[in-house]
């Protein structure tokens, strides 16, 4: 089938494929730098720890800022459209001596800002509350030790300054996400204390930090459990919802941070109603892991459908997964394209028509059409979108990654 024929077929169900292609081109996804080196960062060679874990030892990992920048550039060259980069504080670029987290500043992020400026792309940011000796007994901002709390409060304050600098320099709002691993492996005796200390520490950060609220968007991420913190996480879904709502910041939903049988997409409409904007970590949970490379599965489909129905402009869409067992560059490209594909599929679905069937109680027709529309000629529209963005719609990008792997990654 040609694009023209597909366009006609979609036209019959009231879908304008040109409009869909246009809208998809306007969506910038925040690509996570940390897929490039297994959440390693540039402070030490120790790798990810204290609440973050990767598995696998695939060769070719970026170990210097230049290598990571090269890999990101290469990945972006295979993804249609214009996107953003999501940086973590542990990716600061240090000169002779590593500046500790409570002292880092814009100096360590100038090279990234220059990199982004030269490419005309925006940056998002994250304080790094893990992979550090000051994660004491698994706790950061909720630690009973005031010295530990102070260290991490200072880190949060510095990071907000850095985010403000990024947003100002690049003329693009910067989302800064707070995720802390704080929690306990076994039944705690006190569930309230850590949460009170967490709220107090966060309040201190947001009160003391200097940043422009118009260009810096703080988001706060919840989690059900992690490996080693199976019994209690301080920043549970309820805690994060309550804190974010009362402090007028955004709550962030990570698709991998709920019970496996929970429908994360179902949460979006409530978030939108009460926060006005939804921050999202697109990920894929498998058993206990929350960070597999995203696939075009039902969960991603459902999330994309909600995003499109509620208006993509109301979302901060950031990817969050890390797989150290496969080619890291391929993982980036595949995940970004999968997200775009699901968004496009959602744009090619006649939601008004389906909504009317729901309201009229015509549930048989609703079910039948929801299923039949899944097999409409999406690929022709996707290929056209890619073509207009100078990309191939099929898997031919992978041969380029294989060549890059042979020439660049394996030569490291």
Q: Which stretches of the chain bind ligand RNT, using CB under 6 A? A: 34, 39, 88, 126, 179, 221, 223, 254, 281, 290, 320
- Residues 350 and 277: their CA atoms lie apart, in Å, by 23
Of residues 37, 289, 342, 384, which has the active-site annotation? 289
Strands 278-282 and 250-254, bridge-based pairing: parallel
- Residues 412 and 406: their CA atoms lie apart, in Å, by 10
When CB distances to ligand RNT are compared, the closest residue is: 179
Closest approach of ligand RNT to the CB of residue 322, in Å? 7
- Residues 265 and 315: their CA atoms lie apart, in Å, by 13
DSSP state, 16?
Answer: -
Nearer to Zn ion, 281 or 328 (CB): 281
> Is 152 one of the annotated active-site residues of the chain?
no
Of residues 320, 380, 384, 405, which has the active-site annotation? 320
Give the distance, in angstroms, between the CA of residue 83 and the centroid of all CA atoms in the same chain. 12
> Is 230 one of the annotated active-site residues of the chain?
no
Candidates 100, 92, 98; CA nearest to 123 is 92
Of residues 38, 43, 182, 221, which has the active-site annotation? 221
| Binding characters for Zn ion, 238-277, by CB under 5 A (x = yes) | ----------------x-----------------------
Contacted by 323, from ligand RNT, Zn ion, none: CB < 5 to 8 Å by type: none
Nearer to ligand RNT, 291 or 380 (CB): 291
> Is 94 one of the annotated active-site residues of the chain?
no
Find out whether 44 and 98 touch, Cβ atoms under 8 Å.
Answer: yes
> Is 221 one of the annotated active-site residues of the chain?
yes
- Residues 275 and 78: their CA atoms lie apart, in Å, by 34
Q: Residue 363: count other Cβ atoms within 10 Å of its Cβ.
A: 10
For 218, phi and psi rounded to 5 degrees? -75, 135
Q: Is 291 in the site for Zn ion (CB under 5 A)?
A: no
DSSP state, 264?
Answer: T
- Residues 300 and 280: their CA atoms lie apart, in Å, by 12
> Is 384 one of the annotated active-site residues of the chain?
no
Contacted by 223, from Zn ion, ligand RNT, none: CB < 5 to 8 Å by type: ligand RNT
Closest approach of ligand RNT to the CB of residue 229, in Å? 10
Closest approach of ligand RNT to the CB of residue 23, in Å? 27
> Is 257 one of the annotated active-site residues of the chain?
yes
Closest approach of ligand RNT to the CB of residue 20, in Å? 30
Nearer to ligand RNT, 295 or 374 (CB): 295
Provide the 3-class DSSP secondary structure of residue 270.
helix
Find out whether 322 and 39 touch, Cβ atoms under 8 Å.
Answer: yes
> Is 281 one of the annotated active-site residues of the chain?
yes
Q: Among all residues, which ones are annotated catalytic?
A: 179, 221, 223, 254, 257, 281, 289, 291, 320
What is the binding site for Zn ion (CB under 5 A)?
254, 281, 320
């Amino acid at each position: 089938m040609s694009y023209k024929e597909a366009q006609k077929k979609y036209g019959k169900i009231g879908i304008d494929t040109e409009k869909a292609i246009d809208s998809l081109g306007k969506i910038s996804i925040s690509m996570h730098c940390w897929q490039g080196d297994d959440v390693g960062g540039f402070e030490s060679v120790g790798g990810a720890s204290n609440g973050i874990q990767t598995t696998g030892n695939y060769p070719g990992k970026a170990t210097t800022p230049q290598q990571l920048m090269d890999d990101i550039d290469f990945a972006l060259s295979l993804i249609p459209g214009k996107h953003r980069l999501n940086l973590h504080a542990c990716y600061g670029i240090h000169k002779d001596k590593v500046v500790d987290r409570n002292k880092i500043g814009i100096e360590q992020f100038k090279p990234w800002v220059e990199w982004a400026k030269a490419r005309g792309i925006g940056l998002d940011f994250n304080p790094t509350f893990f992979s550090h000796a000051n994660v004491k007994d698994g706790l950061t901002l909720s630690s009973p030790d005031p010295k530990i709390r102070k260290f991490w409060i200072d880190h949060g304050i510095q990071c907000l300054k850095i985010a403000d600098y990024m947003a100002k320099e690049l003329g693009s709002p910067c989302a800064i996400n707070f995720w802390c691993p704080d929690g306990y492996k076994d039944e705690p005796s006190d569930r309230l204390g850590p949460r009170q200390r967490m709220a107090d520490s966060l309040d201190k950060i947001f009160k003391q930090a200097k940043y422009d609220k118009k260009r810096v968007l703080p988001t706060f991420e919840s989690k059900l459990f992690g490996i080693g913190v199976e019994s209690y996480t301080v920043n549970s879904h309820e805690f994060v919802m309550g804190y974010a709502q009362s402090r007028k910041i955004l709550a962030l939903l990570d698709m991998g941070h709920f019970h496996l049988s929970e429908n994360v997409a179902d949460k979006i409409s409530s978030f939108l109603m009460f926060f006005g904007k939804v921050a999202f970590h697109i990920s894929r949970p498998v058993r206990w892991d929350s960070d597999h490379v995203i696939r075009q599965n039902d969960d991603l489909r459902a999330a994309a459908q909600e995003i499109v129905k509620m208006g993509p402009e109301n979302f901060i869409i950031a990817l969050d997964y890390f797989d150290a067992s496969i080619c890291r560059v391929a993982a980036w490209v595949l995940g970004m394209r999968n997200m775009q594909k699901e968004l496009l599929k959602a744009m090619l679905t006649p939601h008004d028509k389906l909504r009317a069937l729901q309201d009229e109680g015509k549930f048989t027709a609703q079910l039948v059409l929801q299923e039949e529309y899944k097999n409409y000629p999406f690929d022709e529209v996707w290929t056209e979108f890619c073509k207009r963005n100078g990309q191939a719609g099929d898997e031919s990008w992978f041969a380029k990654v294989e060549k890059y792997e042979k020439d660049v990654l394996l030569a490291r």
